[in-house]
Amino acid sequence: MAQFFEIHPDNPQQRLIRQAVEIINQGGVIVYPTDSAYALGCHIGDKAAMDIIRSIRRLDDKHNFTLLCSDLSQVSNFTRMGNDAHRLIKKLTPGPFTFLLDATHEVPRRLQHPKKKTIGVRIPDNKIAQMLVEELGEPLLTSTLIMPGETEPMNDPYEIRDLLEHQVALVMSSGYLDTELTTVIACTDGGIEVVRQGKGRASMLENGL
């Protein structure tokens, strides 16, 4: 049975953040709010927890997982960024963007795209998500909570609890969210391009970097 935390969106209770991180470190999968939607999260090194996320979302091995990071310094430990990518990410974060970057050896192979060897990274503009990753001290493996056959993320924490109470360890509720998928930008050797337009706007890409 999943635990259920009601957490303040603007002034998150630190004790609840600590308890959530304890659950992550013990191998639990959590549901938590971001600046775009509710998401599933687990420890970056926990294969069993990652497999739970795969099962919930019915993901195949071509799915690009994402690392929720606290800042650019953390992103640089797990990805290779060119100068253009670095400038772009610095301009657009924190915010509702996911960046696809070439992964370094710090990223477990099972998390990388099997052919492209890429990983997604996010620096969210959400106090709860920021405090989670800061307390964790390393990136959080994450995936937007979109159920199989659906195109939009779940946005009601009570519905999430009812649906997933036997699959996740914790649901962190900050209330009903106006959800919209992140904008996905690929920043690899092939150049920089928007591969999915979502909530985030990157006007500088329309006029060149």
- Model confidence at 160, pLDDT cuts 50, 70, 90, reads very high
Choice between 109 and 70, residue whose per-residue pLDDT is larger: 70
Query: Does 116 score more than 90 pLDDT?
Result: no
Q: What is the average per-residue pLDDT within 52-69?
A: 90
Q: Taking the domains of the chain in order of start, what are their residue ranges? A: 3-201
Query: Does 117 score more than 90 pLDDT?
Result: no
Q: What is the model's pTM?
A: 0.93
- Model confidence at 207, pLDDT cuts 50, 70, 90, reads low
- Model confidence at 112, pLDDT cuts 50, 70, 90, reads confident
Can you tell me the distance from the alpha carbon of 209 to that of 204, in angstroms, rounded to the nearest whole number? 6
Can you tell me the distance from the alpha carbon of 131 to that of 15, in angstroms, rounded to the nearest whole number? 11
The one-character DSSP state at 161 is: H
Structure tokens, 14? 């630190």
Answer yes or no: are the C-beta atoms of 171 and 161 closer than 8 Å: yes
Angle, helix 127-136 to helix 14-25, in steps of 10 degrees: 50
How far, in Å, are 118, 120, 179 from residue 108 at the CA level? Answer: 11, 13, 30
Can you tell me the distance from the alpha carbon of 188 to that of 108, in angstroms, rounded to the nearest whole number? 19
> Mean pLDDT score of the chain, rounded to an integer?
93
Can you tell me the distance from the alpha carbon of 113 to that of 179, in angstroms, rounded to the nearest whole number? 26
Q: What is the average per-residue pLDDT within 122-147?
A: 97
The one-character DSSP state at 6 is: E
CATH class of 3-201: alpha beta
Residue in this structure with the two tokens 């509710």, named with its chain if needed: 38
Query: Does 209 score more than 80 pLDDT?
Result: no
Q: What is the average per-residue pLDDT within 23-51?
A: 97
